[in-house]
Amino acid sequence: MQPLFSRKADRQNSCIAHGIFTSHNLFANVWSKCPVCSSEQKKADIAAQLRQEVIKRGAEWRRKLCMAAIPERFAGRTLDTYRADNDGQKRALSFCRTYVAQFDEVLKTGRSAIFCGKPGTGKTHMANGIAIEIMKTGKLALFITAQRAIRRIKDSWAKDSVESESDVIRLLVSPDLLILDEIGVQFGTEFERNLLFDVLNERYEKRLPCLLLSNFSADEIRPILGDRIFDRLREDGGKCIVFDWESGRGKL
């Protein structure tokens, strides 16, 4: 019995761009095209796929930055762009790099940290640098000021609110890393400390780390946070990194 289709012998064909080439009979009356054109088309297709992948990854990265709520001013400030000139800056930067490198271990213990000290010394820069690095590995971070977090919880109590208090608490508790900026700027009432305690205690129970940033000294932060929060932040090797050098703002 004869096969339905039998291959024909190779034949010479001509390409406008590359001249004569040997064309192979693929099946029936289908012949292979110019191998140079085919190779160039394959390369073009791969390049187009790579471009689409870059665009997709860029969009995904912008989505992550948006979800992390990293301020636009700090979106491009990474650990690599932080200029560490004095010993204190070098120690702080070393802590940040180690924290990133050991973040899988950090998640096992919930080890937190407090960045405290003078304004303009790079606390937000370094904290966001940590967030950017861990997000590159697929982790989720969230940056928010303490005042904004408290206000968002309060806003959820309004009758026309689109989110409940539980929704807001879940938003603050679920990220792998929560960065709370401007500790001490909020009124610091017992009521507000209790709101912060609810968030930080739930993260503490889930062993999820926090970075707290403040322009106050370590001694001043404790009464602002309250003993319950402060003691939880110190557990499992939690550290207070003091930023005691002069402000770098306005310097070239």
pLDDT in tens, 6-62: 566 788 888 888 888 888 887 777 888 888 888 888 888 877 776 666 556 555 545
Lowest-confidence segment of 40-49, 59-68, 142-151 by average pLDDT: 59-68
What is the average pLDDT across 204-215?
A: 92
Q: In this predicted structure, what is the pLDDT of residue 53?
A: 66
Do 131 and 141 form a contact (C-beta atoms < 8 A)? yes
Average pLDDT over residues 180-197: 78
Q: Which of 238, 8, 242 is nearest to 112 (CA)?
A: 238
Contact at 8 Å (CB) between 210 and 180?
A: yes
pLDDT of residue 234: 86
Element (H, E) at 134: helix 123-136
pLDDT score, position 83: 87
70-127 pLDDT, tens digit per residue, is 766 666 778 988 888 889 899 999 999 999 999 999 999 999 999 998 888 889 899 9
Give the contacts of 239 (CB within 8 A, at least 6 positions apart).
95, 113, 114
* CB neighbour list of residue 140: distance below 8 Å, 6 or more residues apart: 64, 67, 68, 174, 175, 176, 177
Question: Count of residues for the chain?
Answer: 252
Of residues 48 and 196, which shows the higher confidence score?
196
For range 128-147, the mean pLDDT: 88
Helix 165-173 / helix 190-205 crossing angle, nearest 10 deg: 50
Give the CATH superfamily of 69-243: P-loop containing nucleotide triphosphate hydrolases (3.40.50.300)
141 φ, ψ to 5°?
-125, 160
Domain ranges of the chain: 19-68, 69-243
Tokens, residue 157? 């109590």
Percent of the chain with pLDDT over 70: 83
Q: What is the pLDDT at residue 12?
A: 86
Find, among 103, 83, 106, the residue nearest to 93 by Cα.
83
Please tell me the predicted confidence (pLDDT) of residue 98.
95
C-alpha angle 123/125/127, rounded to 5°? 65
Of the pLDDT bands very low, low, confident and very high (cuts 50, 70, 90), residue 192 is confident
Could you tell me the pLDDT band of residue 63, with boundaries at 50, 70 and 90? low
